[in-house]
């Protein structure tokens, strides 16, 4: 054994290598890392997510984020993505990252309304801001700073890391011609949209995406929303529902989030911290691009191949839903000091964006039509 070690030291050459080996005291791993110092991964992170592994758009967006960090860091960081239930269930992602079980998570702020209902402003609220407006508010309108303040007590740093763009109102088997048609309807529609739906006389249900097809097929549900054409086509809802309604008043541009454990982030050198945050920003935009491209293609397939009947919710139905939404959103804002502060910032930005977008995006789309 002594003989072997001496030979090894001689072969490595130099006092430094020898000292390193001796201090390793025969630990094989350290000795071999002295021999091969290249391609060192300094930070191994786990990313837990609220999505099924590789789920189109949402799960693949988390994969994109991890890949970007791994590549941009030149392998110094290695982030591994886990789908819901692989380490923790979907709705335990926030706590798992807060307590350091994982260094990072990918989900949406409205899932954590149990911590504070005001968190929902950082994902989406009914008749709220669209994707472009959310990004403007978060990155250049003070929104992200408020979000960071909101998550700080939980030892978490949030970052926008994806957006579904405007969703669809959902799948129905009967036509919606007036607000009365929503009465008694059992629909999967979670969150604040569900509360609004309830005030309109419907029965909102929350159910994971994977159960929706069967629930519609067997009549457990009368209707469901999910995301938009890209994701809804993948679930095959066109086989069990006749009408596909728009627009997605309840989720007008849902921001997804990366959440990062503060202690893990603090351990990174500044360049890796910048890489993590920049990767989130790229992933945030990339998902918008992915949904824009794939929603277009999927809608075309749904209408032309699967003969889905597209329907717009009537104006008076949307108007009533908007009135109820304003009530519900205001109530959420009034529930806490954080809610009041966030809503003040959110609503000011939304109203200004409304004025500007009326004469820019809306005017242009009308003109192009």
User: Using the 8-state DSSP alphabet, how is residue 225 labeled?
Assistant: -
Q: Which is nearer to Ca ion, 68 or 332 (CB)?
A: 332
Residue environment code for 103-123, b if the CB has 16+ CB neighbours within 10 A, otherwise e:
bbbbbbbbbbeebbbbbbbbb
Compute the least distance from the CB of residue 250 to Ca ion, in Å.
Answer: 7
Q: Which is nearer to Ca ion, 46 or 251 (CB)?
A: 251
Compute the least distance from the CB of residue 228 to Ca ion, in Å.
Answer: 8
Closest to 349 (Cα-Cα) out of 130, 126, 191: 130
| Residue 214, token pair as written in the block | 């069967």
Q: Which is nearer to Ca ion, 187 or 279 (CB)?
A: 187
Compute the least distance from the CB of residue 284 to Ca ion, in Å.
Answer: 18
Strand order in the sheet with 255-261: 77-82, 43-49, 104-107, 255-261, 156-163
Q: Which is nearer to Ca ion, 117 or 251 (CB)?
A: 251
Residue at shortest CB range from Ca ion: 251
Compute the least distance from the CB of residue 167 to Ca ion, in Å.
Answer: 5
Closest to 232 (Cα-Cα) out of 291, 312, 276, 183: 291
152: preceding bond cis by omega (within 30 degrees): no
Q: Which is nearer to Ca ion, 117 or 232 (CB)?
A: 232
Compute the least distance from the CB of residue 155 to Ca ion, in Å.
Answer: 29
Residue 283 near residue 65, CB atoms below 8 Å: yes
Residue ranges binding Ca ion (CB under 5 A): 167, 251
């Amino acid at each position: 054994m002594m003989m072997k070690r001496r030979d090894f030291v001689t072969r490595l050459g130099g006092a430094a290598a020898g000292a390193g080996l001796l201090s390793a005291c025969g630990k094989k791993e350290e000795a071999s890392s002295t021999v091969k110092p290249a391609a060192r991964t300094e930070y191994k992170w786990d990313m837990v997510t609220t999505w099924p592994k590789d789920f189109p758009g949402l799960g693949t967006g988390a994969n994109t984020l991890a890949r970007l960090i791994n590549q941009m860091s030149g392998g110094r960081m290695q982030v591994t993505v886990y789908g819901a239930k692989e380490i923790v269930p979907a709705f335990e992602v926030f706590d798992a990252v807060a307590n350091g079980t994982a260094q990072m998570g990918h989900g949406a702020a409205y899932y954590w309304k149990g911590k504070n209902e005001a968190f929902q402003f950082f994902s989406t609220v009914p008749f709220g801001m669209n994707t472009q407006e959310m990004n403007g508010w978060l990155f250049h309108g003070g929104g992200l700073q408020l979000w960071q303040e909101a998550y700080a007590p939980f030892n978490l740093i949030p970052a926008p890391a994806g957006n579904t763009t405007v969703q669809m109102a959902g799948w129905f088997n009967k036509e919606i011609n007036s607000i009365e048609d929503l009465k008694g309807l059992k629909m999967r529609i979670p969150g604040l949209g569900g509360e609004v739906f309830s005030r309109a006389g419907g029965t909102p249900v929350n159910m994971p995406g994977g159960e929706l097809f069967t629930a519609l097929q067997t009549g457990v549900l009368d209707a469901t929303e999910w995301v938009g054409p890209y994701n809804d086509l993948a679930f095959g809802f066109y086989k069990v529902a006749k009408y596909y309604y728009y627009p997605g008043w309840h989720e007008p541009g849902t921001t997804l989030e990366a959440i990062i454990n503060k202690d893990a982030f603090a351990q990174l050198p500044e360049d890796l911290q910048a890489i993590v945050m920049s990767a989130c920003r790229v992933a945030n935009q990339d998902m918008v691009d992915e949904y824009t491209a794939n929603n277009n293609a999927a809608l075309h397939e749904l209408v032309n191949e699967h003969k889905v009947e597209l329907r717009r919710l009537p104006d008076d139905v949307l108007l009533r839903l908007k009135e109820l939404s304003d009530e519900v959103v205001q109530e959420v804002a009034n529930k806490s000091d954080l809610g009041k502060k966030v809503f003040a910032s959110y609503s000011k930005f939304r109203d200004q964006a409304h004025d500007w977008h009326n004469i820019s995006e809306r005017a242009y789309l009308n003109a192009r039509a």
